[in-house]
Amino acid sequence: MKSAKPGSRRNFLVAASLGTAGAVAAVATATRTAPGDKPAPAVGGKKGYHVSEHVLKYYKTTQV
């Protein structure tokens, strides 16, 4: 049976803990919108994206 290097398990555990810490940091710093926030309507007429009644209804269905 082939023996592993003495530090290989230690290196794996260090790498796993750093990966976990990075994932936790990414989740903690992610930006979220407040439940009552609504997207800003487009300025200057009907061109492009604008908030309408059916869009607001959709946003209400996606709230957790």
pLDDT score of 57: 92
pTM (2 d.p.): 0.36
HSE-CB for 2 with a 13 A CA cutoff: 2
Residue 1 placed within a domain: no
Q: How far apart are the first and last CA of the chain?
A: 53
How far is the C-alpha of 42 from the C-alpha of 48, rounded, in Å? 7
Residue 58 has pLDDT above 70, yes or no: yes
Residue 38 placed within a domain: yes
More confident residue, 2 or 11: 11
Mean pLDDT computed over 14-31: 82
Residue 16 placed within a domain: yes
- The domain total for the chain is 1
Range of the domain at 30: 8-61
Mean pLDDT of the chain: 77
pLDDT score of 61: 92
Contact, 59 vs 38, CB < 8 A? yes
